[in-house]
Chains A and B, each alone.
Chain A
Amino acid sequence: MSEKRVEVILMRQLAGYLATPMLVVNPLGTLLYFNEPAEVLLGKRFDEVGELPASAWSTVFAPSDADGQPLPPEEFPLLVALARHTPSQRAFWIRSMDGQRRHIEVAAFPLIGLEGTPLGAVATLWES
């Protein structure tokens, strides 16, 4: 078994110290980690959830706009950051895993390693 890239490992460790809710995904969009402040917003502990493919987390949280219309995955800031390698920000509604509806604002940025290697993306969340 080989380890994840050190930039991703350090990103997780940094997130583990911050009070800013944060998520880390790999280049496929698989959710690799979210920190304790994010657990509060997402409604479950990371240990209980583990890694989640994009197809799972993009439906589990049922993102929707202000009118209650489902948000297409290609508009999720994390997936925009992954696809376009640019920062992305958006406010929308989610359903936490504890069943609560929350209005959150998400800012995501791509993680690009040495040699321009795409390593994934990071999102910061605020409840608004």
Chain B
Amino acid sequence: MRVRLWGTRGSVAAPGVETARYGGNTSCVEVRHADGTLLILDAGTGIRRLGSSLDAGVRRVDVLLSHLHMDHIQGLGFFDPLHDPAIEVHLWGPCSPTQDLWTRLVRYLSPPLFPVYLRDLPWLHVHNVGVGRCFEIGPFTVSAELICHPGPTLGYRIADSGATLAYLPDHEPALGLKGSYLSGEWTSGFGLAHGADLLIHDGQYTDAEYADRVGWGHSSIRQAVGFARLAEVSRLVLFHHNPTHTDDDLDRLIDVAAAGSSVPFPVMGGMESATFDVISR
């Protein structure tokens, strides 16, 4: 599978000259199989450009939402295929204890926040993702689990021909820890990430920033690296960059994280337009 990043910023879009290299769009990742099957992970503002770039021959798109915070759905209404009856769009995401995904999405995708009602898009298919279940989309096997973040939030593990991508864009596995991580069994998201060939993981904060934001649902870069080490991944892409971090800030922070002597895998900062071929190790 080939993975391309279309939005790597967390919380709110942060366009500007100082963020041009890592990008200012919010979470959106394209996952493409050689046979053309297309998955999109989250519908942050990055999905607008992705939608505009699709070949005319695309007839089906599956969008997997990790959760419904605004930075992960804000681009949805501006995703061209959503307004094209020739394209089947499937939206997958978490329900809440009392509401299904459709009902939850309508709170944003309806007036006055958005001028179009979901019910006016009959070619749109909305699927509640069952916690802990696996499902198939074309050649991909998708697993979803609840992970530690405020409100129902899913992490995804996507496998194809032995290659595995784990996507945990908003995740605070260190919440409540008094030191290092406990065993994998007691660590949120471990099963999704364990042994992944590529892990895309929240690395929003510095340690100092995290100290003032405990419980907000995100990780420091150091915590993300520690989680990736526990999960024995092959590569780590840091994601959901803090909107206040400039390109220069991110260069410096990621260099420090990647240079740790005990980090046995490549650590990269997620940049818009970066692509990764995910192959089985």
Contacts and interface: CB of A to CB of B under 8 A. Distances in A.
Interface of A: 1-7, 9-10, 12-14, 16-17, 113-115, 117
A10 B148 contact: yes
Contacts of A115: 95, 130-131
A113 B131 contact: yes
B120 interface: no
Contact of B148 (A2, A9, A114): A9
B200 to A, nearest CB: 18
Given A1-B194, A3-B185, 6 more contacts: A1-B184, A2-B194, A3-B190, A7-B146, A10-B176, A113-B146
A49 to B, nearest CB: 15
Interface residues of B, number: 25
Contact of B191 (A3, A10, A113, A114): A3
Interface string B128-168: 00111000000000000111100010000000000000000
Nearest to A10: B148
Interface of B: 94-97, 130-132, 145-148, 152, 175-178, 184-191, 194
Contact of B97 (A2, A10, A13, A114): A114
B187 A3 contact: yes
Given A14-B176, A113-B131, A114-B131, A9 B97 contact: no
Given A14-B176, A117-B131, A2 B146 contact: no
B130 to A, nearest CB: 7
A13 B194 contact: no
Contacts of B130: 115
A114 B96 CA distance: 7
B178 A16 contact: yes
Given A13-B177, A114-B131, A114-B152, A2 B191 contact: yes
Contact of B145 (A1, A6, A14): A6
A5 B189 contact: no
Contacts of B178: 16
B191 A1 contact: yes
A54 B24 CA distance: 52
Contacts of A6: 145-148, 188
Contacts of A5: 131-132, 145-146
A16 B147 contact: no
B176 A4 contact: no
Given A3-B188, A9-B186, A114 B95 contact: yes
A46 B189 CA distance: 24
Given A13-B176, A114-B97, A114-B146, A4 B186 contact: yes
A9 B152 CA distance: 15
Contacts of A16: 176, 178
A12 B186 contact: yes
Nearest to B171: A6
Nearest to A32: B186
A10 B176 CA distance: 8
